[in-house]
Structure 1
Amino acid sequence: MGDPREPPEGAPEGGSGNEDEYRSVVFDESFVRAARIQELSARERLGGGFGRATRPRIRLGPLGTVPRQAVALLLVIVLAFAAAVYFGISSPSREGTRPAGSQLTVSLMALSPTATVQPVGDPAHPFAALPVGYGDGSAGLGVPAAAATAHFTKIEVTRALDTVQRYLVASSLAPRALTQGDTGDVRTFVTPGELAQYDQSMATASDDQHHAATGWIVRFDPAQVALATASVKVTGDVRVDESGDGTLRISTDHTFVYALRAAGAPESAPVTLQSVRRELHFDLDRGDIAAGQLRLVDSVLQSGPTACGVPLANYLQPILAAPGGTAPPAPPAIDPGNHARPAWQQCGVLANG
């Protein structure tokens, strides 16, 4: 029986019947796809409308050899990427949802003594005459135990309280900020939406209710004032609430007492106690809590003994006691008809002054 691969009449004359001898003229698929012309299909030839049996092949560059499924998948990926970019740009970002412009409102008040400012009796123990209830440094901040609120978990509240406490330490207790002119440590707590306002307050402090450096930091002029001791006495409390479904509101109200002397004075120089009350309101969203930052929205500060009428926006200006005491200057007269003086600038009377 003959080979089934051979035709019934046998192999043609002059050839071996082997397909190998035709392989040099067989066109593979890549050769066909690369052709510059394409033969019309039977349907196209029967339908007419073509004056020739072939048409030019549309060239797609490197895509011309890519299977149709791959091209379709590529188009889907490109469209998905374009949609992601569009919605990422058009949707509001976390920073973009923050209100623009000045966000912090500051109120400053000098507390003027009615009597001569006397130095402490014992410079080695400057706080001996303080009433009961003042703690030493952060121990006096009175930060409460965290508890979940309506929209924030206990863990989120714990982190928010920790951020506020660290801010209070950096801005009210740290010698670097108090008398050494440092502003960088406090800046790390400021949200991106308030950085411009913060930087302007430090560069060009102004008592315009928005750009007072002392609204952010308790600080004294290093050229005029020095700490007699790094210890600071504190009393006050911290309250937790919500100002919206996505915003945690933390309010603090503290009185800080500093032991001060003139800059460059010896340790035997007179020491003066300066009281500063800070009432602050912070807003923190979940992004702030995760980043360890906060938004200070309201700052009220009272400082005494301080002369009425002195500028407090850049540095607090205490009345330092001389060895025999320092008499405070008379408060300036205020003309209600003088609109050149801001109406919000206030001065109070220091109790037991």
Structure 2
Amino acid sequence: MPIAEDPEPRPSEGREPGGSDPSEAGGKDPFADLVLDEEFVKGATVKEQSGRTRMLAARWRHTPPVDPGGRRSVNDGPSKGKRFGRGPRRPDAFGNPGPRRRLEWRAPLYVVLTIAVLLAALNIDGLRSWYSEHYGDAGTPGSSAVAPAPTVAPETARPTAAPPSAAEQQPTVDHPWAGSPAEGWPSGAEAFVLPAAQATGVFGAEEVAGQLQLVKDYLTAANLDPKVTAGGRPEAALALLDRGDRDSAEAALAKPSEERNAISYFSRFNPAEAIPVTDVVKVQGRTTFESDGEKGVLVHTDYTFVYAIRPGPEAAKQALPGKPSTRPSTTGEPAPGLPSGPGVAKPVALTSVNGDVPGDTWTARTIVRRITDFRFYDPARYQSNPKKINLRRYDSESGNSACNVHDGYYHPQFDQFAQPDPERTGPSLDPYDRSKDIDGERECGSVSRS
């Protein structure tokens, strides 16, 4: 199909090289040399907002935003400073608080140390006493403190010599074992280490084990019970004895005498004169057993008990010469001043005991050694209670107790009330020497150490 041609030529559209003006004004196109590169974008004076910004701006024209609090912006200014060097946290470029600085601990520590040094300077004597009590001051020139005694295990056989001497020290309420070889000894019932039980006579191993436990219970009740050592009645120990031995022990408690004294069975102090410093009792010794030759069992015990005591309210009065004695005579009749009759074993409630004493009050120690044999009879041959104890031998000796006083109590002597005793004419005795047997014929003497 033939195409009609325009009668006139079309005007230039400005696409020719050289850029002609489409408006036919004869000028050059102003955008002909424009290049939309990065430099052009960065140099723009007007920037188009994002769509979200325009949306939020339109919404906030009617409903302004509310500050929820808790966040800071760069326009809020610096926050208030904190104590101990904790300054304000610098916000980041978006207005969020920066990371928290690590807690500064040195400043409060310096304050505490400064206060401690000032207090120590104001009470230097108290500081020295505290350090001596907790850590010892054996290395301080002129100090009388020594290192704690080494621990001594319970005996397994009779020793061949007396224990070595310790440095001489005056025992006090705070340090009742100072200067004693017994300081490192076992304490309480833990010292009664029982041998392995085995069948003996007519008794099987389990029965022998029960008999050994009965012996341990009796030794504990008769020598370690705080109520008994304070002068109370030894009910638990009496309950373990068979009928004949119990009757004898109760008679010794009711009417003590030279022939029948309660301290032959039990360790007791008159609280008017001597009060135990602590419930701790140092113990050393051993337990063995064998057949009695008549199908029964013999249990041998040999133990030394060390008691720490302080003066009672009448300790000074008892030590003064020329004062009338309040101790019973050897006939068994109680003298004035002590409870009489069956209540003689219960003086605790009848005497006034000082409860508060300074920690540096001088104390003393009484050492009691007991060698006791317990017999368990063959029930087929003897009428006896297999659940009770029969005493075959009970020998004892004591160090630091008055001689020829038979009132059912030990009567220790305290250095602060010491008086000459003309009755002590015998040789000096080391109460810690367990290498020898008890000499029942020994005269009244003194102790070489306590």
TM-score normalised by L of structure 1 = 0.57
Deviation at residue 318 of structure 1 after TM alignment: 1.1
The Cα shift of 1:142 comes to 2.9
Give secondary structure in 2 for the equivalent of 1:347. coil
Contact 2:425/2:445 (<8 A) preserved: no
User: What letter is aligned with 1:257?
Assistant: V
**What SS class does the counterpart of residue 415 from structure 2 fall into?**
coil
Superposition deviation, residue 138 in structure 1: 0.9
1:141 aligns with 2:192: yes
Please give the secondary structure, in 2, of the residue aligned with 1:281: strand
Residue 237 (str. 1) matches residue 289 (str. 2): no
Equivalent of residue 250 in structure 1, options 283, 293, 299: 299
Equivalent position amino acid for 1:157 in 2: V
Summarize the Cα distance change of 1:155–1:328 in structure 2 as closer, same or farther, 3 Å threshold: farther
Q: Determine the C-alpha separation between the residues in 2 that align with 1:333 and 1:129.
A: 26
Residue equivalent to 1:351? 448
Question: Corresponding residue for 2:409?
Answer: 315
Residue of structure 1 equivalent to 2:100? none
The amino acid of 1:131's aligned partner reads P
Task: State the distance in 2 between where 1:345 and 1:154 align.
Answer: 40
Alignment of 1:193-272 (within 5 A): 193-208=244-259, 211-263=260-312, 264-265=353-354, 266-268=356-358, 269-272=361-364
RMSD: 2.8
Displacement of 1:243 = 1.7
**Aligned partners of 1:137 and 1:331: how far apart in 2?**
33
Stretches of structure 2 that go unaligned for 5 or more consecutive residues are: 1-167, 313-352, 427-439
In structure 2, distance between residues paired with 1:156 and 1:245: 16
Question: Map of 1:1-353 to 2, 5 A cutoff?
Answer: 119-120=170-171, 122-131=172-181, 134-208=185-259, 211-263=260-312, 264-265=353-354, 266-268=356-358, 269-285=361-377, 291-307=386-402, 309-312=403-406, 314-322=408-416, 326-331=418-423, 346-352=443-449
Q: Any conservation in 2 of the 1:159–1:289 contact (CA below 8 Å)?
A: no
Q: CA deviation at 1:118?
A: 7.3
Alignment partner of 1:310: what SS?
coil
User: What is the CA-CA distance between 1:286 and the residue it aligns to?
Assistant: 5.3
Given that 1:279 and 1:301 are in contact with CA atoms closer than 8 Å, whether structure 2 keeps it comes out as: yes
Shift of 1:160: 0.6
* Corresponding position of 2:148: none
Q: Deviations over 1:168-223 (max 9, x none)?
A: 00000001111132132211011012232222111111121xx2211111111122
TM-score by length of 2: 0.45
- Quick one: higher RCO (CA 8 Å, sep 6+), 1 or 2? 1
- For 1:243 and 1:202, the matched residues in 2 are separated by 30
Looking at structure 2, the residues matched to 286 and 127 of structure 1 have their Cα atoms a distance apart, in angstroms, of: 44
Q: Deviations over 1:20-59 (max 9, x none)?
A: xxxxxxxxxxxxxxxxxxxxxxxxxxxxxxxxxxxxxxxx
Residue of structure 1 equivalent to 2:334: none
SS in 1 for 2:287: strand
Deviations 1:111-163 (A, max 9, x none): xxxxxx9740x532322433376101011123222222244211111001100
Asked whether the equivalents of residues 251 and 282 of structure 1 are also in contact (C-alpha less than 8 Å), the reply is yes
- Are the aligned partners of 1:228 and 1:267 in contact in 2 as well (CA < 8 Å)? no
The letter of the residue matching 2:357 is E
1:348 offset after TM fit, Å?
3.9
Distance 2:293 2:173 in 1: 48
Does the C-alpha gap of structure 1 residues 276 and 332 become closer, same or farther in structure 2, counting only changes over 3 Å? closer
Query: How many residues get paired?
Result: 223
Whether contact under 8 Å (1:219, 1:315) holds in the other structure is: yes
CA distance in 2 between partners of 1:345 and 1:128 (Å): 28
Q: CA deviation at 1:333?
A: 5.9
Measure, in 1, the Cα distance between the counterparts of 2:447 and 2:269: 19
Q: Whole-Å Cα distance in 2 between the matches of residues 135 and 289 of structure 1? A: 34
CA distance in 1, matches of 2:186, 2:421: 32
Give the unaligned 5+ runs of structure 1. Answer: 1-116, 335-342
| Percent identity (aligned) | 26
Distance 1:204 1:290, change over 3 A: closer
SS of the aligned residue for 1:165 comes to helix
Identify if the C-alpha distance between structure 1 residues 153 and 328 changes in structure 2 by more than 3 Å, giving closer, same or farther.
Answer: farther
For residues 312 and 206 of structure 1, what CA distance do their matches in structure 2 show?
A: 5
